[in-house]
Amino acid sequence: MPRTPRPAKRPVEEPLSDTIERYLEAIFYIDAEGDVVRAARLAEWLDVSQPSTASALQRMTKSGLVESNVAKDVLLTHRGRELASEIVRRHRIAERWLVDVLKFDWLTADQEASRLEHGMSREVADRLFELIGRPNSCPHGNPIPGAGGKRPPERALSTLSTGDCAPLLRISEVAEHEVPDLLSFLGEHGFALGREIQVLEVSRGAGTVTVRVNGSAVAMSMEVAGKVWVGV
């Protein structure tokens, strides 16, 4: 009797190192804000040398995770974006669990989620996602990949004029990283998703904007206000 051939086994992908996961995550965040991703920006973001970044990007290019164009922009390939989305998904699900269930503040939850994301499997993330009620976003409004839901129209707080009011929708991941104390600052001053923000004063010359939120006046730089997104 002829032997039935066994189906070919799919090649087993080697797990990504924490270093490569951090690069994928950084590229995803910067790109999601519409910014250009360059090697120098990644080196600054990850606090590593430019030669180290160049070496990592070379490995990622050979692995089919990133590519570059004529302008030397770093672009995620289809596979790279899939993997980056998985990492971001784990991070944002962990954040929601840490804030909603364990009652950590925004900044602590973000820091702890950065540790948890590298050791969490997809199965654990999926079960945690169900446990916390299938949320659409992280605690500060950025969408969870694969969660569904339509992203509402938004505008930067810095574009509003004196007297304008709008609800807080999200805080840029880029701002969270580049202004480490931003989440603590906003949390301590009563900023919360959906909470109404009223613009009290805009000083374009001084580069500041003052808003009222949760009954208190809060002043911030125009640069920070440009990373706080509100409803249209």
Q: Using the predicted structure, report yes or no on whether residue 2 has a pLDDT greater than 80.
A: no
**Count of Cβ atoms closer than 10 Å to residue 50 Cβ:** 12
Which CATH code, of 3.30.200.20, 3.50.50.60, 1.10.10.10, 3.40.1160.10, is assigned to 18-76?
1.10.10.10
Say how far apart CA 46 and CA 179 lie, in whole Å.
14
pLDDT in tens, 136-193: 999 989 999 988 777 889 999 999 999 999 999 999 887 767 666 788 888 888 888 9
Q: Using the predicted structure, report yes or no on whether residue 4 has a pLDDT greater than 70.
A: no
Q: Could you tell me which residues come within 8 angstroms of residue 73 by beta carbon, excluding any fewer than 6 positions away? A: 36, 37, 38
Q: Using the predicted structure, report yes or no on whether residue 3 has a pLDDT greater than 70.
A: no
Question: Where do the domains of the chain lie?
Answer: 18-76, 154-231
Q: Which of 179, 183, 178, 181 is CA-nearest to residue 138?
A: 183
For the structural domain made of 154-231, what CATH number should be given?
2.30.30.90
Q: How far is CA 161 from CA 10, 193, 204, in A?
A: 57, 21, 10
Say how far apart CA 70 and CA 199 lie, in whole Å.
42
Q: How far is CA 16 from CA 59, 84, 93, 146, in A?
A: 11, 11, 20, 21
Task: Report yes or no: 156 and 229 within 8 Å, Cβ to Cβ.
Answer: yes
Q: What is the pTM of this model?
A: 0.83
pLDDT for position 178: 67
pLDDT in tens, 77-118: 999 999 999 999 999 999 999 999 999 988 889 889 999 998
Do 154-231 and 18-76 have the same topology in CATH? no
Average pLDDT across the chain, whole number: 89
**Count of Cβ atoms closer than 10 Å to residue 159 Cβ:** 12
pLDDT for position 5: 44
